[in-house]
A and B are shown apart, each in its own frame.
Chain A
Amino acid sequence: MTKKAKGQTEITIYPDWCKGCGICVEFCPAKVLALGRDGKARVARLDECINCGFCERHCPDFAIVVRGKGRKRRAPACAENGETPVDKE
């Protein structure tokens, strides 16, 4: 298998939805993620991400979004009623 290119992604983690279970932190093959002091997942080493999609598929709370660098955020259909998870950086 060819090595995957690193650092091609942007990662957003919604702290309001993350429950800090630690699955993404434990199993990320590139050790990109870490648990912050508040117990929520954080992006620690963005440049190492190989865009494998593990964290997105395994987050039980749909709190992680991985998208290609520079790709526009698609406004979810639900954005109008203000119920989208808030993106606090």
Chain B
Amino acid sequence: MADITELIHDYLRHNKKFPHVFCAGCGHGIVLGALIRSIHALGLSKDEVCIVAGIGCSGRIAAYVDFNTVHTTHGRALTFATGIKMANPKLKVITIMGDGDAMSIGGNHLIHAARRNIGVTALVLNNNIYGMTGGQCSATTPQGATTQTTPFGQMEKAFDIVTLAAAAGANGVYRGSTFHVNMLDRLVATAIERPGFNLVEIITPCHTQYGRKNKYKSAVDMFKWIKKNCVPKEKFDALPEADRGEKMPIGTFVEKDHKGLEQLYGELQARLNRPGRPVAEPEQPSAQHAEESRNIMNKEPK
């Protein structure tokens, strides 16, 4: 097990303030580690990867890693990612979204990205709550849970992200947890490697906003809850309905081999660019333009 942490340090941006902003025991740090280990295991160089994040605690992950990164607007990570992937299909584009980001404000983008089967990897960090904005209930808050905005218990039912993504047509659908990290590494690596739209729902604890209001006093309690309730899919399927209770299956749900949108688009381009047909040279950016865009890139995000 040697050197896992030293390896992760190699991929961090050390001009950012560390330790990172996440609360003590927040699962987002573990996801960040899993992401780095997966990318390292796939042998991708830092320049081949583009991380696109939305708004929320999870969005901060993009600021800490030394890849190409974009910190976008709330709910729109997938739209930026779609553009990036279409413009440069060689990049491995990975979006990082929270549950509020992906399922509420960006819910429509998610189902259409899945339907288009655009070659983007979506990591949805599901902590059942809007953590950063003060603990309002989200579309994935379980029925009955107490939050800042549902003091008498959430009445609405929660989204099942996995079923939704599968129904919308995603090529790969996975669920992992921040306790079962070896499996998480594997799932994230598979999701990055495979063609088309691949989504990994990651069960991650937010004890600050969710746990404290729901009988999990500390981060450790939340991890115990995850350890107990996230069971491998095969085991979950074998359980009788009555014993399932709060349990959630983790593992691989859908794995299809359809071509990604950017692949189909590339083939169309090749078909239309028959020999003898005049093709315009792509415009080269002027030196001034390059300088300007470099200035923008180097600006510290607020």
Contact = CB atoms under 8 A, between A and B. Distances in A.
A65 interface: yes
Contacts, number: 101
A52 B1 CA distance: 7
Interface residues of A, number: 36
Main secondary structure of the interface of A (DSSP, over half): loop
B218 interface: yes
B220 A65 contact: no
B29 interface: yes
B10 to A, nearest CB: 5
Nearest to A76: B9
B165 interface: no
B3 A67 contact: yes
Contacts of B5: 56, 59, 62-66
Interface residues of B, number: 36
B10 A16 contact: no
A57 B29 CA distance: 10
Interface in B1-55: 1-6, 8-10, 12, 14-15, 18-20, 22-30, 32-33, 37
Contact of A53 (B4, B18, B24, B25): B4
Contacts of A7: none
A29 interface: no
A9 to B, nearest CB: 8
Contact of A74 (B6, B8, B12): B6
B33 A57 contact: yes
Contact of B19 (A63, A64, A74): A63
Nearest to A22: B220
B197 interface: no
Given A22-B218, A27-B223, A60-B25, A17 B18 contact: yes
21 contacts: A19-B25, A23-B223, A26-B223, A51-B1, A53-B4, A56-B4, A57-B33, A57-B182, A58-B179, A60-B24, A60-B27, A62-B5, A63-B5, A65-B3, A67-B3, A67-B6, A71-B2, A76-B6, A78-B14, A81-B14, A85-B9
Interface of A: 16-23, 26-27, 51-53, 56-68, 71, 73-74, 76-78, 81, 83-85
